[in-house]
Chain A
Amino acid sequence: MAEGVTPRVKVPKKAEAGEVITIKTLISHPMESGQRKDSDGNVIPQSIINRFTCEFNGENVIDIKMEPAMSTNPYFEFDAKVPEAGDFKFTWYDDDGSIYEEVKSVAVG
């Protein structure tokens, strides 16, 4: 597991039913591209987050496949529809098999 991986997600606490809200996510991760070399000239092996998904009450909002060309600390901004009160579940999948999760609740009304 990469060191110090912390997901940060910005979701409004309240929304109207059926409203479209903007979600911002950021996760601190080196996203080692596999192109860089260390001071001895050895290639640093690739270590990235390769997939990010967002679900609301089990239904998919967005599913992003990531390649080494994504920047360090990958950031995403996208829109989601909120049909009812519930939880947004954010999942990041690391190359090394680690899975980072974050859950945010949204109230309706």
Chain B
Amino acid sequence: MNFSRRETLGLGLGAMALTVLPMGASAATVDELIAEFTGGADMADTGVTLTAPEIAENGNTVPISVEAEGASEIMVLATGNPTPPVGTFKFGPLAGSRSASTRIRLATTQEVVAIAKLEDGTFARTSAEIKVTIGGCGG
């Protein structure tokens, strides 16, 4: 097979698009999910705490806890998972504190994002980088 210069360039671009697209697509969904949750509002950098291990040996059960003073809802997203949403915690009138702990699955080393919706209608965001030694999504 003989490739002209133009064809070779095209192939190269196509290959690049293929490798870049899946990541781009997943990032877009994270942004979309955040926009859906906040309605496009600005997010403060303080006001929500995400406690997670720096290194998780087993991606199948990574213990995390979220806390935000005066939050009505906290959403957690795993940006590197095939499906980024992890869960949304809604606090009712009898919640003793605005915090909760759980265990989540992480496919690879990635950034986990927590966004809190505060009672005054504002939003706060935080994130944590978690290193995963063994992936948790059956890959």
- Chain A residues engaging chain B, CB cutoff 8 angstroms: 20-22, 33, 35-37, 55-56, 59-72, 74-81, 83
**B131 close to A (CB within 8 Å):** no
Task: Tell me what chain B mostly uses at the interface: helix, strand, loop, or mixed.
Answer: strand
**How many residue pairs at the A-B interface have CB separations less than 8 Å?**
109
Task: Tell me what chain A mostly uses at the interface: helix, strand, loop, or mixed.
Answer: strand
- The distance from the CB of A80 to the nearest CB of chain B, in whole angstroms, is 5
A68 to B60, CA, bound (A): 11
Q: A35-B82, A64-B87, A65-B88 are in contact. Are A70 and B102 (CB under 8 A)?
A: yes
Q: B4-12, B38-46, B90-98, B117-125: which one contacts chain A?
A: B90-98
Asked whether, in the complex, the Cβ of A71 is within 8 Å of the Cβ of B96, the reply is no
Asked whether, in the complex, the Cβ of B95 is within 8 Å of the Cβ of A71, the reply is no
Q: A33-B105, A77-B102 are in contact. Are A69 and B96 (CB under 8 A)?
A: no
**B85 contacts which chain A residues (CB < 8 A)?**
67, 69
**A36 contacts which chain B residues (CB < 8 A)?**
137-138
- Chain B residues engaging chain A, CB cutoff 8 angstroms: 60-62, 65, 78, 81-97, 99-106, 136-139
**A66 contacts which chain B residues (CB < 8 A)?**
87
**A61 contacts which chain B residues (CB < 8 A)?**
91-92, 94-96
- The distance from the CB of B13 to the nearest CB of chain A, in whole angstroms, is 30
Q: What are 16 A-B interface contacts by the 8 Å CB criterion?
A: A33-B137, A60-B93, A62-B92, A62-B95, A63-B92, A67-B83, A67-B85, A67-B87, A69-B83, A69-B106, A71-B103, A77-B101, A79-B96, A79-B97, A79-B99, A80-B94
A29 to B58, CA, bound (A): 18
Indicate which residue in B83, B86, B90 contacts A62 across the interface (CB closer than 8 Å).
B90
